[in-house]
Amino acid sequence: MIDERVAIVTGAARGIGAATARELGQAGYQVVAVDACLGDESHQLPGVNYPLGTEADLREVERYGNGKIHSIVCDVRDAEALALIVQSAVERFGRLDVAVAAAAVISGGKPMWNTPNEEFATLIDIDLMGVWNLAQACIPSMISSSEPQSCRFIAIASAAGSHGLIHLAGYSAVKHGVIGLIKGIAADLQGSGVSACAISPGSTRTAMLDASAQIYNLDSAEEFVSSNLLNRLLEPSDIAQAIKFCCSQAGSALNGSVLDLSGGFRT
């Protein structure tokens, strides 16, 4: 048993997941950083036409963790493997306080009725079932914790989870699903002390945003600046700092909530 808080973060090789792993590590958490690292192989994810994170990316996140970040390659679609990782973390550290479901991909570019079902299935399996699988693996350990009131389950949704975006019907659907799932989890957690919330980022400077720019045939992701009232792209660190607050004692008040981090989203 250790006194330090322990977190597991999926999608940790790049983007918001990587920034969150680093932010929590710097805050003193022991962080289990998980990513499928599908960029190391010729992945065949229908509709996903951009490079994904690699094991080298994940190890780089670990390297900047000052010994607090422990990287593991695992695909969130593999519920049994995720459960074993959680079990191992609890056995190693004696506790699990925080789980952040950040693993996701994006695909789109066609009207819904022209979108192949296998592309939608990929989004469901990773972006929605990945959150489901992590919750099933983590929440029982949190409920049985000696300090369940300090435990948080946090999922990364999207501004697309509250809006319908052109040629992104599948992505919008699964992110709406993430929000619905979090609200359902929060209801099921009533009286347990554990809390759950969702984060909905807007245009954030990530590889996924670059892929979105390609979907819309934009020259650069910088063109998404006009999509919020800040008139700048958000940084992964902006989102990670908000997640750190969600993990705090004060963050329990966000139970069942969706935190809008879009910078003032506008279509």
Q: Express each pLDDT in 52-106 by its tens digit.
A: 999 999 999 999 888 999 999 999 999 999 999 999 999 999 999 999 999 999 9
Q: Express each pLDDT in 91-119 by its tens digit.
A: 999 999 999 999 999 999 999 999 999 99
Q: Which residues contact 3 (CB under 8 A, 6 or more apart)?
A: none
pLDDT value at residue 64: 86
Q: How far apart are CA 34 and CA 18, in angstroms?
A: 10
pLDDT value at residue 42: 66
Say what the pTM is. Answer: 0.96
Mean pLDDT confidence for 130-142: 98
Structure tokens at 260: 């809008």
The Cα-based distances of 218 to 25, 48, 141, 203, 231 in angstroms read 35, 17, 45, 14, 17
Mean pLDDT confidence for 186-212: 96
Q: How far apart are CA 57 and CA 39, in angstroms?
A: 10
70, HSE (Cβ side, Cα atoms, 13 Å): 14
> What is the DSSP annotation of 138-150?
HHHHHHTSS-GGG
Task: State the burial class of residue 110 (Cβ atoms within 10 Å of its Cβ: 0-12, 13-18, 19+).
Answer: middle
